[in-house]
């Protein structure tokens, strides 16, 4: 059994319930918070994507059901890695999203952007085609048409 206590010297019977409930939930679900540091973003490796994958595996185990990292969060981290020219990290993020969200056109569009940055035209075309097979998006179509010229 996990236990913690705290004394609220500056609170009264009427002010304590809100803050104590908040503190209690933070204690119970402390494992849910993803702890990242600046140094996590500084390396061009799969370390950060793996750290996030392990975190959500632990959260899933604790909760008793699968919780995936949010698509938007992983996508954003992939683009941040691309901006830093961290292609190894970017690929790991975008690839993870295609595994976690195979029915999302956006994950393939983003993976295509990664291949564009890597100057791998054939792979970019394949990703944009996959994205368009899931949803007809004008911006994705424009990128694909530009590559085919």
CATH code for the domain of 52: 1.25.40.10
- Long-range pairs, 24-27, Cβ under 8 A, ≥24: 27/2
- Classify 119 in phi/psi space as left (phi over 0), alpha (psi -120 to 50) or beta: left
Tens-digit pLDDT profile for the chain (149 aa)? 778 888 888 888 888 888 898 888 888 888 888 999 999 999 899 999 999 999 999 999 999 999 999 999 999 999 999 999 999 999 999 999 999 999 999 999 999 999 999 999 999 999 999 999 999 999 999 999 999 98
Domain that holds residue 111: 33-148
Question: Does any domain span residue 8?
Answer: no
Is 19 domain-assigned?
no
Of 102, 99, 100, 79, the residue nearest 89 (C-alpha): 79
Asked if the structure places residue 94 within a domain, the reply is yes
Q: What is the pLDDT of residue 61?
A: 96
- Quick check: is 14 in a domain? no
Give the torsion sign (CA, 10, 15, 21, 22).
negative
13 inside domain: no
Q: Please indicate, yes or no, if residue 72 is contained in any of the structural domains.
A: yes
Tally of domains in the chain:
1
Task: Write b or e for each residue in 22-36: b if 16 or more Cβ atoms lie within 10 A of its Cβ, otherwise e.
Answer: eeeeeeeeeeeeeee
Domain-located, residue 100 = yes
Is residue 50 assigned to a domain?
Answer: yes
Name the pTM for this structure: 0.86
């Amino acid at each position: 059994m996990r236990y913690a206590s705290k004394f609220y010297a500056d609170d009264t019977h009427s002010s304590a319930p809100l803050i104590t409930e908040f503190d209690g939930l933070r204690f119970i679900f402390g494992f849910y918070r993803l702890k990242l540091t600046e140094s996590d973003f500084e390396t061009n490796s799969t370390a950060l994507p793996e750290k996030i994958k392990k975190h959500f595996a632990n959260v899933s185990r604790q909760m008793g059901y699968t919780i995936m990292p949010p698509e938007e969060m992983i996508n954003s981290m992939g683009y941040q890695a691309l901006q830093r020219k961290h292609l190894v990290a970017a690929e790991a993020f975008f690839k993870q999203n295609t595994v976690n969200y195979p029915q999302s056109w956006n994950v393939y569009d983003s993976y295509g952007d990664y291949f564009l940055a890597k100057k791998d035209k054939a792979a970019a075309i394949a990703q944009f085609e996959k994205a368009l097979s899931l949803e007809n998006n004008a911006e994705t179509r424009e990128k694909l048409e530009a590559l085919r010229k």
